[in-house]
């Protein structure tokens, strides 16, 4: 009944305002049903009441603050000018005026249009001479009689509540400078690329003009600094605000998207390189500001490789003494790598290294420490013979330190950037700075640390973790700009002696973790800022999944109290509209509903009233696809794949791309690759540009080969025609496409053509029994006809045994990697083998059962008679060394290159590779053809014992059974083994995808 009432209300609205119906139909056609429904619900608000549905009149506000919106105009397209003015006229806060100065537009129509404006709240001044952007804006500002000036471009739009949000912020905090979040709006009114900014971050502001739009300030401040200066045209806003921020520290941030920056071909929004002179103007503005604040030569601004991003350095007349404090307990190979990198890379000269020996036990450790002290005059070793306490250890090290700056450093790091120490020190000695940290990378060159966000994950975590260290700025600030943060990790933390004397040392109540964050927050409370500098680069070989079981309860209890206010109010250097349960910045699903989302505000209010935690009910893998109807004449095959970036293209994605190329060539269809999870990086764009055109989702291009980035898909749709076919490569790509077709078919009557599903594992098994398990499972049971392509006959059999049905099914078996095949062909008849066990070790991937392998090895080391002669290595993912007992360790070599992996396979005698899945994973097959005696496991119908004689396939996969079989393997050790050329079809098969001809016949008959 409620739906009928709403429909009646919509019809009534259409009769009284037919223009809305036209606009609605246009949105439905161009952007699809999902966005149409959102726009409809946002444009007409209804509430139930006494058996009827009535239209709700949006509330208007008035107040005692007059906002003067300053708008310079020059040859603007009148339709954009009208939209800009209309967005102001529709503000729910009514105390405003618009101050327009036309900068002598050659187009007489613009000037005539301005003169025709009859609204007495709009003041217009026509200039007789062109004065440029700064001069014209000053002239517009001269018309202002308001308390605050707001800057607005003549083709942009304000959100409906922009002025009221600013008014409330001023009344609450007395802000004298204000800025808001923003996004980009295109010519069709579609928004994209939201930028959710942190609260006032002075070091970020010296890195880039992140305040952007919407920005406003007291008119008295504008008058005091003398307005805009034409010598800084292109970065005139930056110059003005740098000067204004010198006059006040009352800078407020409204964490709402209040400004829509128009994307037109001539605008900086569309093309940052359209104003190259602005880069230099910004640099000059920063340098002048630095000279005023610090004095000439005390701080120097530099350009960077990224447009409109700057790097401020603080030259030191003398290098203060630095004490690098490294606590250790054994793991001498890690310490040696760390210290070697310091001595080899560091350009800063005036430092000492204090190694704190915390109960080491191994003679090799003591031998290395003696050698270290003998070879280096600036290295000291101090015994810290007490129970491990990270806080106490670093405080203890400071007692011996001679430095003016302390650098707390983990033993599992490796220096990348030669100036790392210089950069840490020059910032740490600033009188306004608490702690300083840098960019730490995993061995695979993804981000391990780029600043700590308090409240992330309910506790605290590293923002950007797992992402590529590249410059981008949506939906949050780039990881590659210097900025202020609430805290940095203690794995690499610099703090001056003066700061420690002012605020105290580390809180020794924290034992393992938390005191690094507590120290940084304490610095904030003393009025100091903490800094993250991405130019301080080190590797940090920490496992991507921390073992929380080793953290004592006291650390959790203290952290719980410390994070309480941040869970409630958010981290000021992050943004409340971003998802606090995801390290990789993304908009909260509820946050995109923006201005009229009363339900979200009600939930937050209820949370505050009850004290109950807010539930995160989102499944981020299924962020919806939206299709719009397109006229595309040719048949086209669409590959839905997470990424084409080099760091992701291995294993499953690599195989999927190879299959796609084969399929496209066989079918003769046009090809489109839709990237669902990651934007293409520069290398990927360069690699694929020769064959493909990179296309925005909102563009309807006819190129026969396209790549469409679609990871950022809020408010964006993809053109789909009756001739499009879709190829899935993961359960979430299947789900989103299948779901999108439901609305697409009901709206446009377009049914999908036969789906193709490239199945490389039983993906529900990747999750415990849960929502994602059921969602993944549902994609195999979709009602639309589907061709399944299985990565192995065993996997196909598993699906058939479990009663999954597809319209057609094909399978191919794995083939050895080309690089490994080339290495294998060079192996001699007799292969020399070491007493070496190779483990496929991925602690971050549960289905590889890493802990089970370790448990087996811990038993084996006490069962193997000549154990002292054996070495145990782990490849696949970098992790800490694991003590196995009896003097043996499992040593990680991380992710190897193909050449390194081939060499290790050739020299290893035995191997262990487990996979809790019906898919026969590649490592045991690869090991076996390189003559490695390999222990693996059965699973359901999977049993690899028939693959070749080198595979030992265990049904009972208990640690003791693995250990017993490993002992039997090692008993037969020989220095040389005869190489057996096994499994020729696995080693080389040029006909893997021959079944595509059968797929072609099926599709051609449709």
The pLDDT assigned to 419 comes to 95
Judge contact between 933 and 950, C-beta under 8 A: yes
| Residue 698, token pair as written in the block | 């909102």
Q: How far apart are CA 806 and CA 799, in angstroms?
A: 10
**How many C-beta atoms lie closer than 10 Å to residue 832's C-beta?**
11
Confidence bin at 807 (pLDDT 50/70/90): very high
Q: How far apart are CA 937 and CA 270, in angstroms?
A: 54
Output DSSP code: residue 56.
P
**Which positions ≥6 away from 549 have C-beta within 8 Å?**
none
Beta partners for residue 951, in sequence order: 934
The pLDDT assigned to 611 comes to 54
| Residue 47, token pair as written in the block | 């509430």
Q: Is 536 left (phi over 0), alpha (psi -120 to 50) or beta?
A: beta
The pLDDT assigned to 47 comes to 31
From 800, 775, 707, 721, select the one nearest 753 (Cα to Cα).
721
* Angle formed at CA 535 by CA 529 and CA 541, multiple of 5 degrees: 100
Pairing of strands 460-462, 452-454: antiparallel
Residue 314 has pLDDT above 80, yes or no: yes
Judge contact between 157 and 83, C-beta under 8 A: yes
Judge contact between 292 and 463, C-beta under 8 A: no
* Angle formed at CA 640 by CA 636 and CA 646, multiple of 5 degrees: 115
The pLDDT assigned to 29 comes to 47
Over pLDDT 70: what percentage of the chain? 89
Write b or e for each residue in 326-348: b if 16 or more Cβ atoms lie within 10 A of its Cβ, otherwise e. Answer: bbbbbbbebbebbbebbeebbeb
The pLDDT assigned to 597 comes to 41
Judge contact between 75 and 110, C-beta under 8 A: yes
**Which positions ≥6 away from 871 have C-beta within 8 Å?**
834, 835, 836, 837, 891
Segment 770-790 shows an average pLDDT of 94
**How many C-beta atoms lie closer than 10 Å to residue 634's C-beta?**
12
Share of the chain residues as helix, strand and coil, in percent rounded to the nearest 5: 40, 25, 40
3-state SS class at 808 = strand
pTM listed for this prediction: 0.58
**Which positions ≥6 away from 884 have C-beta within 8 Å?**
854, 857, 858, 861, 872, 890
475-to-351, 368, 592, 596, 686 alpha-carbon distances in Å:
39, 47, 11, 20, 24
| Residue 197, token pair as written in the block | 């900014």
From 631, 598, 603, select the one nearest 615 (Cα to Cα).
603
- Greater confidence, 52 or 362? 362
Confidence bin at 749 (pLDDT 50/70/90): confident
3-state SS string for 854-922:
HHHHHHHHHHCCCHHHCEEEEEECCCCCEEEECCEEEEEEECCCHHHHHHHHHHCCEEECCCCCCCCCH
Residue 649 has pLDDT above 80, yes or no: no
Give 549-601 pLDDT, tens digit per residue.
467 888 888 888 888 788 778 899 999 888 887 888 888 754 333 333 444 44
Judge contact between 178 and 254, C-beta under 8 A: yes
**Which positions ≥6 away from 483 have C-beta within 8 Å?**
198, 201, 203, 204, 207, 451, 477, 531, 532, 573
Residue 536 has pLDDT above 60, yes or no: yes
Give 315-347 pLDDT, tens digit per residue.
998 999 999 999 999 999 999 999 999 999 999
Q: How far apart are CA 66 and CA 62, in angstroms?
A: 10
| Residue 798, token pair as written in the block | 């598993």
Give 392-443 pLDDT, tens digit per residue.
999 999 999 999 999 999 999 999 999 999 999 999 999 999 999 999 998 8
Judge contact between 580 and 456, C-beta under 8 A: yes
Q: How far apart are CA 299 and CA 180, in angstroms?
A: 29
Q: How far apart are CA 325 and CA 380, in angstroms?
A: 10
475 preceded by a cis bond (ω within 30 of 0):
yes
Confidence bin at 878 (pLDDT 50/70/90): confident
| Residue 257, token pair as written in the block | 């998207």
CA dihedral 895, 899, 903, 905 (to 10 degrees): 60
Q: Of the given ranges (97-106, 168-177, 300-309, 846-855), which has the lowest mean pLDDT?
A: 300-309
Over pLDDT 90: what percentage of the chain? 66
Residue 832 has pLDDT above 50, yes or no: yes
**How many C-beta atoms lie closer than 10 Å to residue 973's C-beta?**
16
Residue with tokens 């009827």: 52
Confidence bin at 775 (pLDDT 50/70/90): very high
Query: What is the DSSP track for 287-326?
Result: HHHHHHHH-TTTSEEEE-SSTT-EEEE---SS---EEEEE
Helix (H) or strand (E) holding 1001: helix 996-1004
Residues in the chain: 1006
Judge contact between 413 and 327, C-beta under 8 A: no
Judge contact between 395 and 510, C-beta under 8 A: no
| Residue 498, token pair as written in the block | 């003066």
In terms of C-beta density within 10 A (0-12 exposed, 13-18 middle, 19 or more buried), how is residue 47 classed? exposed
| Residue 218, token pair as written in the block | 């007291």
Ranked by mean pLDDT, which of 75-79, 187-191, 708-712, 731-735 comes out on top? 731-735
Give 930-965 pLDDT, tens digit per residue.
999 999 999 999 999 999 999 999 999 999 999 999
The pLDDT assigned to 591 comes to 39
Judge contact between 177 and 244, C-beta under 8 A: yes
214 preceded by a cis bond (ω within 30 of 0):
yes
Residue 548 has pLDDT above 80, yes or no: no
């Amino acid at each position: 009944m409620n739906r009928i009432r709403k429909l009646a209300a919509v019809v009534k609205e259409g009769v009284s305002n037919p223009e809305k119906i036209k606009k609605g139909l246009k949105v439905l056609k161009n952007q699809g049903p999902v966005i149409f429904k959102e726009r409809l619900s946002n444009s007409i608000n209804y509430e139930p009441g006494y058996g009827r549905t009535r239209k709700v009149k949006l509330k208007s506000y008035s107040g005692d603050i007059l906002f003067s919106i300053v708008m310079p105009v020059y040859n603007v397209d009148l339709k954009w000018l009208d939209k800009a003015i209309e967005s102001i006229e529709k503000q729910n806060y009514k105390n405003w005026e618009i101050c327009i100065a036309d900068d002598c537009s050659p187009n007489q129509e613009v000037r005539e249009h301005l003169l025709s404006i009859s609204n007495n709240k709009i003041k217009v001044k026509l200039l007789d001479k062109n004065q440029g952007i700064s001069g014209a804006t000053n002239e517009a500002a001269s018309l202002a009689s308001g308390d605050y000036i707001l800057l607005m471009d003549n083709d942009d739009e304000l959100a409906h509540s922009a002025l009221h949000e600013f008014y409330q912020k001023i009344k609450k905090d007395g802000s004298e400078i204000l800025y808001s979040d923003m996004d980009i709006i295109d010519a069709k009114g579609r928004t994209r690329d939201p930028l959710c900014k942190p609260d006032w971050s002075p070091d970020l502001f010296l890195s880039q003009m992140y305040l952007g739009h919407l920005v406003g300030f007291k008119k008295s401040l504008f008058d005091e600094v003398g307005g805009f200066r034409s010598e800084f045209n292109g970065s005139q806003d930056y110059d003005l605000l740098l000067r204004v921020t010198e006059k006040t520290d009352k800078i407020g941030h409204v964490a709402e998207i209040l400004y829509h920056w128009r994307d037109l071909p001539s605008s900086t929004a569309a093309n940052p390189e359209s104003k190259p002179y602005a880069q230099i103007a910004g640099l000059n503005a920063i340098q002048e500001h630095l000279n005023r604040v610090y004095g000439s030569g005390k701080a120097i601004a530099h350009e960077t490789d990224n447009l409109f991003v700057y790097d401020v350095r603080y030259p030191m007349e003398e290098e203060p003494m630095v004490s690098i404090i490294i606590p250790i307990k054994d793991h001498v190979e890690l310490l040696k790598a760390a210290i070697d990198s310091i001595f080899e890379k560091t350009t800063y000269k005036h430092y000492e290294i204090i190694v704190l020996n915390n109960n080491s036990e191994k003679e090799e450790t003591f031998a290395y420490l003696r050698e270290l002290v003998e070879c280096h005059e600036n290295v000291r070793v101090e015994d810290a013979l007490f129970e491990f306490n990270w806080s106490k250890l670093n405080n203890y090290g400071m007692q011996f330190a001679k430095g003016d700056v302390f650098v707390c450093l983990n033993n599992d790091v490796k220096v990348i950037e030669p100036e790392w120490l210089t950069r840490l020190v020059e910032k740490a000695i600033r009188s306004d700075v608490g702690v300083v940290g840098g960019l730490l990378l995993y061995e695979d060159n993804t981000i391990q640390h780029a600043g700590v966000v308090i409240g992330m994950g309910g506790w605290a975590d590293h923002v950007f973790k797992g992402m590529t260290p590249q410059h981008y700025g949506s939906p949050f600030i780039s990881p590659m700009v210097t900025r202020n943060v609430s805290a940095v990790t203690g794995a690499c933390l610099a703090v001056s002696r003066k700061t420690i004397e002012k605020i105290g040392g580390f809180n020794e109540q924290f034992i393992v973790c938390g005191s690094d964050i507590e120290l940084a927050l304490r610095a904030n409370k003393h009025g100091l800022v903490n800094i993250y500098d991405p130019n301080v680069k080190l590797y940090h070989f920490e496992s991507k999944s921390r073992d929380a079981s080793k953290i004592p309860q006291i650390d959790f209890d203290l952290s719980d109290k410390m994070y309480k206010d941040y869970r409630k109010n958010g981290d000021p250097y992050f943004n409340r509209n971003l998802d606090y349960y995801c390290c990789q910045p993304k908009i909260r699903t509820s946050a995109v509903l923006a201005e009229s989302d009363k339900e979200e505000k009600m939930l937050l209010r209820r949370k505050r009233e009850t004290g109950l935690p807010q539930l995160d009910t989102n499944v981020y893998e299924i962020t919806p696809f939206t299709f719009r109807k397109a006229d595309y004449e040719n048949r086209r095959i669409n590959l839905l794949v997470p990424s084409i970036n080099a760091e992701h293209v291995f294993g499953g994605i690599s195989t999927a791309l190879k299959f796609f190329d084969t399929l496209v060539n066989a079918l003769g269809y046009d090809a489109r690759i839709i990237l669902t999870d990651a934007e293409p990086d520069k290398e990927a764009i360069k690699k694929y540009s020769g064959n493909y055109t990179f296309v925005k989702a909102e563009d309807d291009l006819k190129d026969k080969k396209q790549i469409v980035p679609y990871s950022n898909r809020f408010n964006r749709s993809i053109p789909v025609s009756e001739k499009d076919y879709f190829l899935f490569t993961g359960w979430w790509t299947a789900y989103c496409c299948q779901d999108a077709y439901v609305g697409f078919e009901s709206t446009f009557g377009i049914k999908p053509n036969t789906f193709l599903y490239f199945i490389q594992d039983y993906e529900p098994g990747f999750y415990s029994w849960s929502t994602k398990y059921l969602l993944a499972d549902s994609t195999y049971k979709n009602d639309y006809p589907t061709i399944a392509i299985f990565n192995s006959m065993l996997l196909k059999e598993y699906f058939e045994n479990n009663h999954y049905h597809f319209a057609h099914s094909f399978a191919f078996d794995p083939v050895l990697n080309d690089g490994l095949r080339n290495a294998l062909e060079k192996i001699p008849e007799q292969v020399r083998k070491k007493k070496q066990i190779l483990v496929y070790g991925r602690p971050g991937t549960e289905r590889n059962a890493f802990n089970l392998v370790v448990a087996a090895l811990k038993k084996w080391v006490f069962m193997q008679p000549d154990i002292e002669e054996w070495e145990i290595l782990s490849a696949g993912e970098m992790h800490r060394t694991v003590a196995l007992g009896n003097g043996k360790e499992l040593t990680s070599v991380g992710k190897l290159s193909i050449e390194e992996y081939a060499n290790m396979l050739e020299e290893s005698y035995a191997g262990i590779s487990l996979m809790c899945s019906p898919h026969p994973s590649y490592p045991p097959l690869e090991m076996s053809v390189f003559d490695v005696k390999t222990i693996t496991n059965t699973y359901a119908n999977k049993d690899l014992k028939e693959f070749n004689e080198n595979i030992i396939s265990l049904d009972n996969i208990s640690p003791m059974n693995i250990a017993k079989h490993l002992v039997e393997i090692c008993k037969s050790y020989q220095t040389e083994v005869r190489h057996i050329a096994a499994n020729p079809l696995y080693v080389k098969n040029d006909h893997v995808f021959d079944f595509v001809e059968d797929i072609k016949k099926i599709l051609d008959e449709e």
